[in-house]
Amino acid sequence: MASVFTILFAGLSAAQSFAAEVNVYSGRQEALIKPLLDKFTAQTGVKVNLVTGKADALISRAASEGEFSQVDLLVMADAGRLVRAKNMRLTQAIGLDLPALSSSFIDEEKHWVALTTRARTVMYKKGSDVVLPESMLALADKKYAGQICVRSSSNIYNQSMTAAMMLDKGDEVTSKWAKGIAENMARKPKGGDRDQIKAMIAGECQFAIANTYYLGGMLTSSDESQREIAEQVAIAWTPKSEGGTHINISGVSIAKHAPNKAAAEQLLTFMLAEEQQAWYAEVNQEYPVIDGVNWSKTLERLGRFDAQSVNFNDMGRLNGDALKLMDKAGWQ
C-alpha cells in the first residue's frame, strides 16, 4: 500500500508546477544528486539550477549573498554543516508535513531534514591475522600502535564522529581516545576515505576508518581495480553493547530567503518519497531514512548493524569543540 507521503507527492506532481525553477546549492558531488534532479524536472517541468562545491564555501556564499541570495535549497552531506547553516540563520522552518521519520532525523525546529544515513566504521582486510577491536573506542588501545589509516582532523566526518563520542562518553574519555588514535596511526593523515581503504589493502596499515558508502561505491565501481580492492574489505561493526556504530546523515534545508519556496518544497517532498529513497540506496549506497525502503544488495552484503543513538543537532554544535580536542590530542 502506498504511503500517505507517496500519495501526497503524486498529487503534487499531477498538479501544475508551483514555479518555473528552483535553485540548489549542494555540498554533494554532482553525480550523487543530479540524476534525481533531472528526474524531478522530467516529472514536474520545474527546472533545477544546481551549484555544487565545497560545503563550507557554499554556506559562506549563501551568507555573503544575504537577502539577495537566489538559493532555495541547501543540500549537505553532514549534520555538522546542516547545523552550521541553521546557526548562521541561513535556513527557515520547513512548513510541510514530513513523513513519519525518527525524531532524530528532523531538526527540532524543522530547519533541516535528513535524506540518508551512512555509517563510519572500522574496516580491515578479509583473512588478515588481526585482533578485531570491539568498538571504535577500543581502536585507541596501544596494541593497535602503527595500525590505523584515517583522514585528518580537518575532515568533518571525523569531527562529527568525535563530537558524537563526546556526547556519549564525555570529554575526558574522548580526549584519551583521540590521543590513542593519533599515536596508533600508521602514517600521517592524508587523502579521503577511499585512500584509507586502498592503503589498508596495500599493507600500509591494518585498519581503515571510513564511511560505508565509499566502500559501497568501490564495490559497484566501473573501475575493476577499485572493485578488486573493495572485495577484500570487511567491516568490524560495533555492537549495541558497546554503543553501536557511529552514523551521520546527509540532509536538506530550505534557504531563509528562498525566492522559489513552493518549488523548493516540491523538490524536498520528491527527495523524501520512497522511490527516491530506494535510488539513494541502490545508486549511492546510502541508507534510507524512510522505514520499509529496501537496502541495495551491496548494502545488505556489508551487513546489518546496530546504530549509535545520537542527537544530530547536539553533534553538529560540538563540531568546533571536537576539532580543538582532536588537534590538542595530536590528531592533525
Binding residues: 213-214
Q: How far apart are CA 230 and CA 19, in angstroms?
A: 44
Angle at 119 (CA atoms; ends 298, 271), nearest 5 degrees: 75
Q: How far apart are CA 34 and CA 24, in angstroms?
A: 10
Q: How far apart are CA 8 and CA 11, in angstroms?
A: 5
- C-alpha cell read off for 78: 553532514
Q: How far apart are CA 255 and CA 86, in angstroms?
A: 9
What burial class does residue 188 get, using C-beta atoms within 10 Å of its C-beta: 0-12 exposed, 13-18 middle, 19+ buried? exposed
Residues 6 or more apart from 292 whose CB is under 8 A from it?
Answer: 274
Which residue ranges are tagged as binding site for Fe cation? 213-214
Element (H, E) at 21: strand 21-26
Q: How far apart are CA 196 and CA 206, in angstroms?
A: 10
Contact 119, 287 (CB under 8 A): yes
Q: Is 3 helix (H, G, I), strand (E, B) or coil?
A: coil
- C-alpha cell read off for 63: 551568507
Q: How far apart are CA 26 and CA 58, in angstroms?
A: 8
